[in-house]
Amino acid sequence: MNYSKDQPYNDLPLLLPDPSIWEKLSIYKKLAEARAALAELKGRLPIIPNPLMLINTLVLQEAKDSSTIENIFTTNDKLYKAFSSTAANTDPATKEVLRYREALWNSFSELKSPKDFSLQLAVKIFKLITEKKEEVRTGQVYIGNSFQVVYTPPAPGNILLEKLNNWFDVAVNKKDIDPLLKMAILHYQFEAIHPFSDGNGRTGRILNVLYLCLQKLLDLPVLYLSKYILDNKTDYYRLLREVTENNSWENWILYILEAVKQTSILTLQKVNAIFDNYTSVLEKVKVEANDIYSRELIDVIFSQPYCKISILEEQKIASRNTASKYLKRLEELGILTSETVGRENLYKNISLYAILSNS
């Protein structure tokens, strides 16, 4: 194979590689660990009564981490405020992170059956993230920095489309390989194909979690590898390159499996912490402010880090005046703390905020 990093890699092999690539003890060991951690997380998720409590919180974190990989920086606080507030003066980076969250959530909502896991879905994610109107790229792109090219993906047109069609076909239809192993291989291949003019990393990371849901390894899209990738970014880029240059699949697969394992463990800890805090707040309000107690009220203050009167109104928990009274009472109890943003009063859930910020 005449691979050259400055030339379009039109010979990028179609999937799957030869099984000898993954039929290795080291990989099977790591696979067993990753699958066990992921299964434990999947089994634990139903303890959280309202899925929004996980979606709005963990997804916001993922949106932030995934965008940081692309050097789009925002802070937890800006992001959480912008999510709940119409008044927050949202900067472009925060907006971009919120678009990532929207892309993730919208695409998950559309994933009803395997046939929905398609190129159209990927295009939709790309468009939502980047706000571009185009679809699959029609020009050549290069990966690297202004000093050097490190990789040149396949040429646009039929070559690119053939590889993309192969990608979705294998993702959905190929069954004689462990699905988690397949995810590792698919993720390399997606990035190597580089179907879009930008946003390939972020689109690829959203496809990873949707794929886990598709394969029923998760019921909710809550496993986000971006934090791990961010913390191990140099290895991530190096290992991608080494698959291309040396066919070094083993280390790449081990990296992704380790990412799945560690992220599952971390997410499980977060889910447990959210649940513990939720139940202790539930108890506290029941005992100390029984007149305002309802489970729906506690659910809603755990459904995003910042709450406000209109959210309680929208959720039909209380009228405007009563909602205001409820939030003030929760503040007196030390559960929430209020802050004025623009002309709005936002109420921060102190314990939830701490759990989410502490990563």
Ligand X SMILES: Nc1ncnc2c1ncn2[C@@H]1O[C@H](COP(=O)(O)OP(=O)(O)OP(=O)(O)O)[C@@H](O)[C@H]1O
Binding site for Mg ion (CB under 5 A): 198
Contacts 24+ apart (CB under 8 A), 322-327: 325/292, 326/292, 326/297
Residue 265 binding result from ligand X, Mg ion, none, given CB thresholds of 5 to 8 Å by partner type: none
Instruction: Return the residue of 62, 65, 96, 191 that touches ligand X, per CB under 6 A.
Output: 191
Residue 83 burial (CB count, 10 A):
21
- The reply on whether position 238 binds ligand X by CB under 6 A is no
Q: 231 vs 314, which CB is nearer to ligand X?
A: 231
- The reply on whether position 152 binds ligand X by CB under 6 A is no
- The reply on whether position 65 binds ligand X by CB under 6 A is no
C-alpha span between 147 and 74 (Å, rounded): 27
144 phi and psi angles, rounded to 5 deg: 155, -160
Q: Is the dihedral of CA 223, 225, 231, 235 positive or negative?
A: positive
Residue 259 burial (CB count, 10 A):
24
155 phi and psi angles, rounded to 5 deg: -65, 150
Residue 182 binding result from ligand X, Mg ion, none, given CB thresholds of 5 to 8 Å by partner type: none
**Closest distance of CB 261 from ligand X, Å:** 20
- The reply on whether position 221 binds ligand X by CB under 6 A is no
- The reply on whether position 183 binds ligand X by CB under 6 A is no
Q: 259 vs 312, which CB is nearer to ligand X?
A: 259
C-alpha span between 265 and 267 (Å, rounded): 6
Q: 244 vs 262, which CB is nearer to ligand X?
A: 244
Instruction: Return the residue of 15, 54, 171, 240 that touches ligand X, per CB under 6 A.
Output: 240
Residue 151 binding result from ligand X, Mg ion, none, given CB thresholds of 5 to 8 Å by partner type: ligand X
- The reply on whether position 123 binds ligand X by CB under 6 A is no
**Closest distance of CB 130 from ligand X, Å:** 8
Nearest to 353 by CA among 339, 332, 340: 339
- The reply on whether position 70 binds ligand X by CB under 6 A is yes
Q: Are 60 and 79 in contact (CB under 8 A)?
A: yes
Among the listed ranges 17-25, 56-64, 200-208, 323-331, the one in contact with ligand X (CB under 6 A) is 200-208
Nearest to 98 by CA among 61, 133, 126, 69: 61
Interacting residues toward ligand X by CB under 6 A: 69-70, 143, 150-151, 191-192, 198-202, 204, 237, 240-241, 244
